């Protein structure tokens, strides 16, 4: 099992590649959404990638975000590539806001849900911390 982990302050993002045999109830396209306390899990078990976000404020913030389907996957991927690249540059410079590296490859199709959650988390992070990762950050 490969796992990729990002942590800082009160938040954790996991993008995980796994061959799990346990399955949660799925929706369309094999996508899973589960919530426990302050943890949000979004996964596409068919593609074997998931994102876990543990942050007390993110779930409430996400409820006010643009709904699924508002952005196309291509748009989300382009933003994620740009922002994750900048995130990792800051991580490499030992910036205190960036405790862990995000392993996100433009050559992998993570599916809509993973891209949607990563995009929204990165918007949330930028709004919450005042850190700008480049380009426009949507206001809600």
Residue 33 inside a domain? The answer is yes
Asked, for residue 138, whether it belongs to a domain, the answer is: no
- For residue 73, what are the domain limits? 2-129
Total domains, the chain: 1
Q: How large is the angle between the packed helices 112-129 and 73-92, nearest 10 degrees?
A: 50
- Identify the weakest region by mean pLDDT among 40-54, 57-71, 108-122: 40-54
Instruction: Please report whether residue 137 resides in a domain.
Output: no
Task: Answer yes or no: pTM beyond 0.95.
Answer: no
Mean pLDDT along residues 31-39: 47
**Measured distance CA(15)–CA(60) in Å, rounded:** 21
Mean pLDDT calculated for residue range 83-91: 95
> CB count, 10 Å around CB of 81?
13
pLDDT, the chain, mean: 74
φ, ψ at 6 (rounded to 5°): -130, 130
Q: How confident is the model at residue 6 (pLDDT cuts 50, 70, 90)?
A: very low
């Amino acid at each position: 099992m490969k796992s990729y982990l990002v942590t800082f302050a009160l938040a954790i993002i996991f993008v995980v590649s796994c061959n799990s045999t346990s399955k949660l109830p799925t929706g369309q396209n094999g996508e899973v959404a589960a919530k426990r306390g302050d943890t949000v899990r979004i996964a596409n078990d068919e593609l074997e990638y998931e994102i876990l976000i543990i942050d007390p404020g993110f779930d409430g913030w996400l409820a006010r975000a643009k709904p699924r389907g508002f952005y196309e996957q291509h748009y989300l991927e382009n933003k994620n590539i740009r922002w994750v690249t900048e995130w990792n540059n800051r991580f490499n410079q030992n910036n205190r806001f960036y405790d862990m590296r995000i392993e996100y490859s433009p050559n992998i199709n993570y599916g809509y849900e993973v891209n949607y959650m990563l995009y929204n988390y990165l918007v949330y992070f930028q709004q919450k911390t005042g850190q700008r990762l480049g380009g426009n950050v949507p206001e809600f």
